[in-house]
Structure 1
Amino acid sequence: MITDIRLRSQQLVNPAFNDPKELVAWMGALQGQEYSMAKWAVGLRLKKPDIRKVEAALEKGEILRTHVLRPTWHLVVAEDIRWMLKLSVRRVKLAYDSYWKNHGISEELHIKSLDVIVRALEGNRYLTRQEIGEELSRAGVIVGDDLVGYFLGRAEVDSIICNGVDKGNKRTYALLDERVPPMKELHKEEALAKLAIKYFRSHSPASLQDFIWWSGLSITEAKQAVGLIDAELIKERIGETDWLIHHSCARNVRAKRVIHLLPSYDEYLISYKDRSMALAPEYYRKAFNTFGIFYPVILHNGKIVGNWNKSAKQKQFGVESSFFIPGIEVDEGELDKAKERFRVFNKGGND
């Protein structure tokens, strides 16, 4: 039951959206560490996966990639970026500052670097991380690449910058105020309720602990958020867990047989603190390691059953797969279809 509902709420069965922006708005935020895999996380949840539509939404700034919620990369829509950043800024900034507290980074240096970054990007300029590092060096801020990353991350959570238009295969940064028109500010209660709705309608069934993990909210804030949308949630105790299910999610349904090649860091796995519903604990290390690195995995009827990767063959686009559950029976024809969906997505949906 739990995985059946999740497959539907996460748009992995009977997807409802053609538009990448609408899909990301529905999901709330999609994990985005690996850029190409984040695009596939969007594409595989659309009615017709097409990388061109995803990249167009990113280029137009309808979808943005930035550090928000937990101190990590996420994809969010432009309309949501400011209120999400406002909810998470204190916690994410503390995480950044805690990491660098032993590196002698003063607030004065941060302010100076921010001034350089803003001046370098003004006028709708899109600069790569390397180009921004060069601007900092010219201004007398001698920094290594890691420190450039720190300054950029701080500028993101302070709502100063976000991603710009790609330069070839290189990511760029832009000023948020130039990339995204001003939006109506939300009061904290409005923002908490909105975040909870986005999570539970797209990730149900989930526990309070799952929501705390995904959102990065404090326990008090998460409980408040859930309380604010209490009328929209159905509570069910299954086993030892109290599950919360958004009323928009169909219950007591059986998802059809499904095989997907999930990208690394996919929401189906990473967005829950307890991942045992989708993956037996003895196989955790096959899907992610102790350093927080998540691998591309195969989803079979709601369960994670194996790994996949793009073929190492340079002249031919292909997918290699393997299974870590002994004796697993997987329809090879359906697996081939899943591989073909990934291939067609990366070819621009032309086949």
Structure 2
Amino acid sequence: MHMNIAQLRLHNQHIAKTHFVQPEQVISHFGGMQGQDFPGVKWSIGLRLPQTTDVHIRRVFDERKIVRTWPMRGTLHVVAAADVRWILQLTSPKNIKGSLRRRDQLELDDKTLTKSREVITKALQGGKQLSRDEVYAALNAARISTEGQRGYHLLWSAALHGLICFAATTDAEQNLALLEEWVAPAKSKTRDEALAELALRYFSSRGPATLKDFIWWSGLSAAEARAGLEAIKSHLVQETVNALTYWMPFEIDLHQDVTNAFSLPGFDEYLLGYQDRSAVLANEHAAKICPGGNGVFFPTMVIDGRVVGTWKRAIKKNSVVITVDPFAKLNKPALSAFKQAAYRYAMFMGLPMVLD
């Protein structure tokens, strides 16, 4: 069987076409979306919801329907409020264990970490929300240094323990709040239930994908990821391509009447959701997406499922300036199609577009 992995992913990721109408539906479908770049993850949600705006996405964060914290791989993701606790309970133990060496380098012992959580709790309890700098100030006042990367690690550790999360949005970022106060209680899951649910969310939203892709994305151990997949195999179909086994949902109806060009943000799940990105990105162009392998991914131009270049935007007072940098010269139809994709982003931001 010939399988167009890129086109199937565009479909299952709800990039090509979607039936979702609310941001929390998109996030729930994915299980989580990588979110260290706050403006970028808002567009990751928005490009999957035609007619929505940046203002609308921000409002959904403020309404506590979706939450930003550090679950998968200890990296910032956006998750549905109903899912945040069981996902953290599933993924945090391995993330905490894997941080011991870094913790030692930062001279953060158990006593200091415990005290830091007490200080953070006292600073935020009662429904308070503080910026990162304000939380750092509270820690420093308690003689817990936040110098260098210590402050970030203290916040990260508190989040992994289910203590804090990002809350209401400000102009630039989000404030921090106590998770217990910010997010309403939700039904818990056993570990086996959580493994199965996270696997189902992953392969339903990102299939075709391999077990190795799921291991990489989730940060789970190979044994845990395998157990999760084993529990949900009856809900998936598998195909083998070049000796690799891919898993995906059963019912896939590829639409022929959809757009073929997309302006994706830098950390979108279309790329970051997989260990192996070769189905959509040629290996020789990988360094152009993440120069120097520094972990910072540029926004991408996607045409017919393939990454064909990068783009950037500059927000001005009365416009958004879009600059494109294709890997090779695009023909007029491709350039015109991407112009429409860029225009969608400008509409999302509520600004006129200038294509540079």
Deviation at 1:141, TM superposition (A): 2.0
Give the structure 1 partner of residue 203 of structure 2.
200
Amino acid at match of 1:279: L
Give the structure 1 partner of residue 304 of structure 2.
301
Give the structure 2 partner of residue 154 of structure 1.
157
Give the structure 2 partner of residue 276 of structure 1.
278
Take 1:348 and 1:87, find their aligned partners in 2: how far apart are those partners? 41
Give the structure 1 partner of residue 290 of structure 2.
288
Take 1:51 and 1:5, find their aligned partners in 2: how far apart are those partners? 27
Give the structure 2 partner of residue 244 of structure 1.
247
Q: Does 1:261 align with 2:263?
A: yes
Report which stretch shifted further, 11-20 or 87-96: 87-96
Deviation at 1:314, TM superposition (A): 6.5
2:98 to 69, 72, 95: 95
1:54 to 57, 69, 77: 57
Deviation at 1:43, TM superposition (A): 0.3
Deviation at 1:95, TM superposition (A): 3.1
Question: In 2, are the aligned partners of 1:20 and 1:54 still within 8 Å (CA)?
Answer: yes
Give the structure 2 partner of residue 228 of structure 1.
231
1:214 to 214, 217, 221: 217
Listed as ranges, the matches of 1:1-351 within 5 Å are 1-144=4-147, 146-250=149-253, 256-289=258-291, 290-311=293-314, 316-325=319-328, 330-347=333-350
Deviation at 1:101, TM superposition (A): 1.3
Report which stretch shifted further, 288-297 or 304-313: 304-313
Amino acid at match of 1:285: A
Gaps of 5+ in 1: none
Deviation at 1:15, TM superposition (A): 1.2
Count how many residue pairs are aligned between Structure 1 and Structure 2. 348
Amino acid at match of 1:16: H
Take 1:170 and 1:311, find their aligned partners in 2: how far apart are those partners? 17
Amino acid at match of 1:195: L
**Any idea what the Cα deviations from partners look like across 1:284-318, whole Å, max 9, x if unmatched?**
11112322221101010100000100148676422
Amino acid at match of 1:7: L
Deviation at 1:2, TM superposition (A): 1.2
Question: In 2, are the aligned partners of 1:96 and 1:150 still within 8 Å (CA)?
Answer: no
Deviation at 1:262, TM superposition (A): 0.4
Q: TM-score, normalised by structure 2?
A: 0.93
Amino acid at match of 1:147: R
**Any idea what the Cα deviations from partners look like across 1:118-158, whole Å, max 9, x if unmatched?**
00000110001100111112222233252111111001000
Amino acid at match of 2:339: D
Take 1:342 and 1:312, find their aligned partners in 2: how far apart are those partners? 11
> CA, structure 1 residues 348+125, in 2 after alignment: closer, same or farther (shift >3 Å)?
farther
Q: In structure 1, the residue corresponding to 2:77 is in which secondary structure?
A: strand
Deviation at 1:175, TM superposition (A): 0.4
Take 2:85 and 2:233, find their aligned partners in 1: how far apart are those partners? 25
Q: In structure 2, the residue corresponding to 1:229 is in which secondary structure?
A: helix
Deviation at 1:93, TM superposition (A): 1.1
Question: In 1, are the aligned partners of 2:67 and 2:78 still within 8 Å (CA)?
Answer: yes
**Any runs of at least 4 consecutive aligned residues in structure 1 with deviations exceeding 3 A, and if so which?**
248-251, 253-257, 311-316, 325-330
Q: In structure 1, the residue corresponding to 2:247 is in which secondary structure?
A: strand
**Any idea what the Cα deviations from partners look like across 1:18-38, whole Å, max 9, x if unmatched?**
100111101111000111011
Q: In structure 1, the residue corresponding to 2:78 is in which secondary structure?
A: strand
Question: In 1, are the aligned partners of 2:8 and 2:207 still within 8 Å (CA)?
Answer: yes
Deviation at 1:226, TM superposition (A): 0.6
Amino acid at match of 2:279: M
Q: TM-score, normalised by structure 1?
A: 0.94
Gaps of 5+ in 2: none
